[in-house]
Chain A
Amino acid sequence: MRFRLTEDQRALQSATRGLLERVCPPKALRAMADGAGPPRLDRVVWAALAEAGVFALRLPEDAGGVGLGAPEAVLVFEELGRALVPGPLAATHLAAGRVAGAATGETVVTRADGGLVAWLAEADVVEGYGTGGGAGPSGAGPSGVGPPGAESPGAGAFGAVPPVALPPGPGLPGAVPLRSVDPLTPLHRVPAPADPGPWDPSAALLTAAEQLGTAGRVTELAVRYAREREQFGRPVGSFQAVKHLCADMLVRTELARAAVYAAALSGDPAETAGAKLISDDAAVANARDCVQIHGGMGFTWEADIHLHLKRAWLRARTRPVAAEAEEAAARALAASAGPPAPRPSL
């Protein structure tokens, strides 16, 4: 068992971080958030991400891809989350190899998910709309509901997803623009199907990785502030109440890291659901604690923390949402409870 990053994986991680600091610095995000009206997707940044292999990462080399796997995709998406990169990243990545131009960044692909669709007006292709909501094939992911012991899903993370492309734009029937809580992610509401169908473990894993990135980033922001900011004549980070908030943030991040990396390795849909659940919690709770540690400053528009919190909320809203993930984990638990467990007697 070698459950730690390889040298190559560490190199990928730091190269991605370096790239994002150059092409998507906080200053650029700030300008976008402060602009009037919904943000526009920066196609130059998108092209730079494509150039770096973000979308073609898992395509085989003979198909023009980078030929890496789910663990590497998770490391890259963790960095995208850390840097708060805007755009339908997971949807475009998952469309690479199926939708022409997605891998190279020429085609921006988004997905309808749980009655919402992000970046509708900016995307070239929309998936999952009018097909039962879920983009995955039946059986590619647990439905999240159903009796215990029901059939376990076949394909693991990154199973095949059939292309379901529709023409985008304001013409999409029933799409209504929202005033999005996240100033860096425009949202439309679309009619949600009565039966949303299965959720896609691949999308869940990538979103969980982004949440992990957020959880780690806001922990750093909080710790930095707690070291610098003085009250009562000393850094607030010397006060136990503040220390304990920071410690809990690190604990949530590290548990989420273990969960997300492990789900990338195992490809198990129930473990992926658990990783989404734990990383959703970590991202949202850490961003909230980060606001708290910043005090009044944390409640201002100028501090970037609210951007992280709002993105974390939005990702937590993508499928599987907490109830679905808990049901998926409960099903796996029920399956594991099959053989007799001798020790704990009831």
Chain B
Amino acid sequence: MDFGPTEEEAAFRTELRSWLATALPRLPPKPSPDDWPGRRAYDTHWQRMLYDAGYGRLHWDADPGLRLVFLEETELAGAPYVGANFVGLLHAGPTIAAEGTPEQRERWLGPILRGDEIWCQGFSEPGAGSDLAALRTRAVRDGDAYVVTGSKIWTSHAEVADWCELLVRTDPAAPRHRGISWLALSMDAPGITVRPLRTLAGTAEFAEVFLDEVRVPAAHRVGAENDGWRVTMVTLSFERGTAFAGEVVACRRTLAALAAAARETGRWDDPVLRRRLGRLHAEFTALWRLVQWNVSEARTGGTVPGPGGSVFKLRYSGARQELYETAAEVLGPDALDLGREWAVDRLSSLSYTIAAGTSQIQRNIIAERLLGLPKGGA
């Protein structure tokens, strides 16, 4: 048991650090949060830079130890996060890599890695959020295609996405977990309407997607027909397993900046606030150690992360909200000024205990799959 880097990790860190030092000054200026086409261009540009330097695949099939080094170093250097490439790099890509045919991997993985195409996630529906298996969007087989009708909601990046990982019901008569299939939907297909939704932060982060007899080639189904639930669980385990790891580093940086601000303004002299910041420091240090622990365990346990990711996701999402509540204490009246990045981040933090499975759903997963408690009950 040690934190000592392997030779490969140490060499990788040195090389990555020096590449970041030359690459980051070449980045174009960051677009405003409301400018989705601008954000797409910026994020995919960064992905292309990573690809050209040989770092494109790091999010899914690299040694997990190297991936942690990558997340740590990019975050410490102030490099962009995955942004608009999030779904492609962290969900669809790993899922297609694990479950797709050779042709599917050939078609989609390269464009994701090069930043040529971005993906969105068509899982949630108005009647099927936390109860994902209640989804009703139907796909009826017609020759070599599926005809899809229904609607999706909370679809991040939908307006600028090229592809959507779409869950559809292909057998309405089957038990609800068994009649689902996982399709790759081209967002150019006729019959798709995208309507942006405004979040409580005031920006259009996500959208509703309406599907009216949209034709999807059967060859774009990933995994067997009606086996989409299992494929989805693979996708979600990536989402909960390691997708948030880099953000812990970001939170630690944020906390350090907050401490610096508290010292400048004299708020640091308030022992109640200072101890609260100290407690958060201990919390995020431990969360980073938990990431390292999970990754070290996963290294020997196969390529798909286990339900242990729910343990991390549950604690992390709560800690992140606590961080921004504490930030508001430090900022005082400025916390109510939306001209401040902090104030916007505080609003954004509210989504963390909802998105990617609510905290209540994570607790059910932990209780049933990790602790073996019986299903059901009110």
Contact = CB atoms under 8 A, between A and B. Distances in A.
A272 B310 CA distance: 25
B282 A274 contact: yes
Given A240-B378, A261-B293, A278 B253 contact: no
Most buried by A among B2, B9, B250: B2
B311 interface: yes
A150 B10 CA distance: 31
Given A243-B364, A244-B360, A244-B363, A337 B256 contact: yes
Interface string B277-309: 111011101110110110111001000000010
Contacts of A247: 314, 362-364, 366-367, 371
Interface stretch (A107-115, A161-169, A251-259): A251-259
Main secondary structure on chain A at its contact with chain B? helix
Main secondary structure on chain B at its contact with chain A? helix
Contacts of B25: none
A330 interface: yes
B29 interface: no
Given A250-B371, A327-B275, A258 B289 contact: yes
B198 interface: no
A219 to B, nearest CB: 8
A22 to B, nearest CB: 27
Contact of B373 (A238, A251, A277, A328): A238
Interface residue range, chain B: 35 or more
Nearest to A330: B278
B277 A333 contact: yes
B72 to A, nearest CB: 11
B253 A343 contact: yes
A255 B1 contact: no
Nearest to B275: A326
Given A243-B363, A248-B363, A337-B256, A325 B374 contact: no
Nearest to A74: B1
Interface string A149-175: 000000000000000000000000000
Interface string B318-353: 000000000000010000000011100100000000
A346 B285 CA distance: 23
A221 interface: no
A184 interface: no
A223 B285 contact: no
Contacts of B62: none
B282 A326 contact: yes
Contact of A259 (B254, B289, B314): B289
A250 B50 CA distance: 38
Interface residues of A, number: 62
B120 interface: no
B375 interface: yes
Contacts of B354: none
B142 interface: no
B290 A223 contact: no
Contacts of A261: 1, 289, 293
B32 interface: no
A266 B256 contact: no
Nearest to A329: B278
Contacts of B278: 325-331, 333
Interface in A217-270: 219, 223, 226-227, 234-235, 237-240, 242-244, 246-248, 250-251, 254-259, 261-262, 265-266
Interface of A: 1-6, 9, 71, 148, 219, 223, 226-227, 234-235, 237-240, 242-244, 246-248, 250-251, 254-259, 261-262, 265-266, 271, 273-275, 277-278, 323, 325-334, 336-337, 341-346
Interface of B: 1-6, 9, 65, 68, 78, 250, 252-261, 263, 268, 274-279, 281-283, 285-287, 289-290, 292-293, 295-297, 300, 308, 311, 314-315, 331, 340-342, 345, 360, 362-364, 366-368, 370-378
26 contacts: A1-B5, A4-B1, A9-B1, A223-B372, A234-B376, A240-B364, A247-B363, A247-B366, A247-B371, A250-B370, A258-B286, A258-B290, A262-B289, A274-B281, A275-B286, A278-B286, A327-B274, A328-B278, A333-B255, A336-B252, A337-B263, A341-B253, A341-B257, A343-B253, A344-B342, A345-B341
Given A2-B1, A248-B363, A255-B290, 15 more contacts: A4-B300, A5-B1, A238-B374, A240-B360, A243-B363, A254-B311, A258-B286, A262-B292, A278-B286, A326-B274, A327-B275, A329-B281, A341-B257, A341-B260, A345-B341
Report the 7 A-B pairs with minimum CB-CB distance, sorted nearest first. Answer: A274-B282, A330-B278, A238-B377, A243-B367, A329-B278, A326-B275, A259-B286
